[in-house]
Amino acid sequence: MRCGTELVASLAQPGGNVTGLSAFVPELTGKRLELLRETLPKLSRVATIWNTANPGNTPLLRDTEVAARQLGLELQSVGIRSPADLEGAFATMAKSKVEALNVLSDAFMNNNRMAITGMALKSRLPSIYPSDVYVQAGGMMSYGANLADLWRRAAVYVDKILKGAKPAEVPVEQPTKFEFIINLKAAKQIGLTIPPNVLARADRVIK
């Protein structure tokens, strides 16, 4: 949840009938690009694949474009709207000779994570994802909010609302716990050696 989607007036004062927890911290997309570049020091071209049917992804893409410019990376936006678009999207990335992949997550992308991670491996494309569900599906790396912690904290919101709190007056919280996960199996499959300094920063390594 973020203000750019117009679901809430602001994080501090939602103002409507919606509140809760947000996993879409704008700074996270830049952090993922940083981790990609640390993993691939010579990285210059990176693709971001995203669901164009979700208006909430548009501000996230802008955040990604800003972060890429700050890091001196050339960013290619690859929009899709259905599972049928995935094969063409990866063909486009191959023609453009992108060197790594960043994924903007939403329900649609999550539902198609097996196909996305599988195509990334088949394309031998180093990739980073927003949550551990992609790594569990075979993805190479993920960095994002600790989803288990978010679910636990959501119970606090339910309790507040049931006790009479108005959603308009309950601030939207952003995550405080984050996870960096590396799947060494996936890295080995595409012939990539993860630098020791990057491995040392991982909260979890899948061997």
Supply the pLDDT for residue 188. Answer: 97
Supply the pLDDT for residue 27. Answer: 74
Specify whether the CB–CB gap between 50 and 57 falls below 8 A.
yes
Q: pLDDT by residue (tens digit) across 36-49?
A: 999 999 999 999 99
Supply the pLDDT for residue 127. Answer: 98
Helices (H), 3-43: 26-39
Supply the pLDDT for residue 154. Answer: 62
Q: pLDDT by residue (tens digit) across 47-61?
A: 999 999 998 899 899
Supply the pLDDT for residue 119. Answer: 98
For the segment 188-194, the average pLDDT, to the nearest whole number, is 97
DSSP 111-159: HTHHHHHHHHHHTT--EEESSHHHHHTT-SEEEEE-HHHHHHHHHHHHH
Nearest one of 76, 77, 75, 131 to 105, comparing CA atoms: 131
Q: Where are the domains of the chain?
A: 3-206
With a threshold of 0.85, does the pTM exceed it? no
CATH for 3-206, options being 3.20.20.100, 2.102.10.10, 3.40.50.2300, 3.20.20.70: 3.40.50.2300
Q: pLDDT by residue (tens digit) across 98-156?
A: 999 999 988 999 999 999 999 999 999 999 999 999 999 999 999 997 766 666 666 66
Pairing, β 74-80 against β 100-103: unpaired
Q: Which residues pair with 141 in a beta bridge?
A: 128, 182
Crossing angle, helix 113-122 and helix 86-96, to 10 degrees? Answer: 30
φ, ψ of residue 80 in degrees (nearest 5): -135, 160
Q: How far is CA 109 from the centre of its chain?
A: 10
